[in-house]
Amino acid sequence: MQRSLSSALATLCGIAIVISVCSCGKSPAGGKLLVGFSQIGAESGWRSAETDSIRSEAEKRGVDLKFSDAQQKQENQIKAIRSFIAQKVDAIILAPVVETGWEPVLMEVQRAKIPVVLVDRGIKVSDESLYATLIASDFVEEGRMAGEWLVQKLGGKGNVVELQGTTGAAPAIDRKKGFEQAIAKAPGIKIIKSQTGDFTRAKGKEVMEAFLKAEGKNIQAVYAHNDDMALGALQAIEEAGLKPGQDLVVVSIDGVKGAFEAMVAGKLNCTVECNPLLGPAAFDAVEALHAGKSVPKKSIVQDKVFDQSTAKATIDSRKY
């Protein structure tokens, strides 16, 4: 009732309501904020840590969270978003599986006057008012940091195989771009094989096995777009009778605890952090939007590079 009254008053006063401002009415959930969260899936330790962060922060703030696991399928995310619209949520938190294909459903969200908070991945739309804010790391910079570290480690020479993330996903596109920018400064380093491993450990292992069969001793280094694929690759390298971290240099991105354990064991050489603990920032944005306040269009999370020389000193402080 209060939601309808707010809309009516806004119309009478001639106030334009845009996606970045939600109704000041209470949610149907007994006065609590009602928020829908469409998550990509549970394909990696990083993704699970992000989900835990969103869920725990919702509980901490007394938010009624409607969670949907898309199992890495965009069509499932679109269905979830339409379900959130039907439930008249106060806001939607979306971790988009791919960059494109969102405009039709987000136009529906906009018509329902529900703000959208993007977390960890951006989207490509012709109208940026379709979402309120993006909270994410700079994936291009992450790829660049990984590439710069590898150039130095290899002394500017070597053949690299690349385990890409999910095709069409923002981190896969940007981490490849940043890495290629970095190694372009070292003409002696070349990517000789590149294939998607879908950000999963099992697929990372499978693709690395194929790389080893095809190229064998021609490979000096492995670049994985996330730690889970790298951990799968480590297993494939060991099963091929080689020593990861010694016979092959392995660098990846995310900075999950499993990567730190692999660095301490001398198997993974380097990981670039990508902080998944986005719950506090996401709900800060949700609450600000609900109160009619403006938020930055994009908030960048600062990340760091860790290698074997720093892993042991920092592993105990890892929260994910």
Instruction: Name the fold adopted by 139-275+306-317.
Output: Rossmann fold (3.40.50)
In the predicted model, is pLDDT for residue 177 greater than 80? yes
> Rounded CA gap, 29 and 33, in Å?
7
pLDDT tier for residue 302 given thresholds of 50, 70 and 90? confident
Instruction: Summarize the confidence of residues 41-62 as an average pLDDT.
Output: 96
pLDDT digits (tens, 9 = 90+) for 141-174: 999 999 999 999 999 999 999 999 999 999 999 9
The pLDDT of 41-51, averaged and rounded, is 93
Residue 131's identity, in one-letter code, is Y
**What confidence tens digit (pLDDT) does each residue in 251-264 have?**
999 999 999 999 99
pLDDT tier at 300 (50, 70, 90 boundaries)?
very high
Q: Please state, in angstroms and rounded to a whole number, the distance separating the CA atoms of residues 222 and 252.
A: 8
138 falls in which pLDDT band (50, 70, 90)? very high
In CATH terms, is domain 2-137+276-300 a member of 3.40.50.2300? yes
For the stretch 94-137, pLDDT in tens is: 999 999 999 999 999 999 999 999 999 999 999 999 999 999 99
Q: What's the pLDDT at 16?
A: 31
Amino acid 286: pLDDT: 98
CB 129 within 8 Å of CB 19: yes
* Residue-averaged pLDDT of the chain: 91
Considering the entire predicted model, what is its pTM? 0.85
Assess whether the region 2-137+276-300 and the region 139-275+306-317 belong to the same CATH fold: yes
Convert the pLDDT of each residue in 84-95 to its tens digit: 999 999 999 999
Reply yes or no on whether the pLDDT at 287 is more than 50: yes
Intra-chain end-to-end CA distance of the chain, in Å: 42
**Alpha-carbon distances, residue 295 vs 5, 94, 134, 166, 287 (angstroms):** 25, 16, 10, 29, 10
Predicted confidence (pLDDT) at residue 33 exceeds the cutoff of 90? yes
- DSSP category for residue 25: S
Q: What secondary structure does DSSP assign to 191-252, as a single string?
A: EEEEEE-TT-HHHHHHHHHHHHHHHGGG--EEEESSHHHHHHHHHHHHHTT--BTTTBEEEE
Structural domain spans, the chain: 2-137+276-300, 139-275+306-317
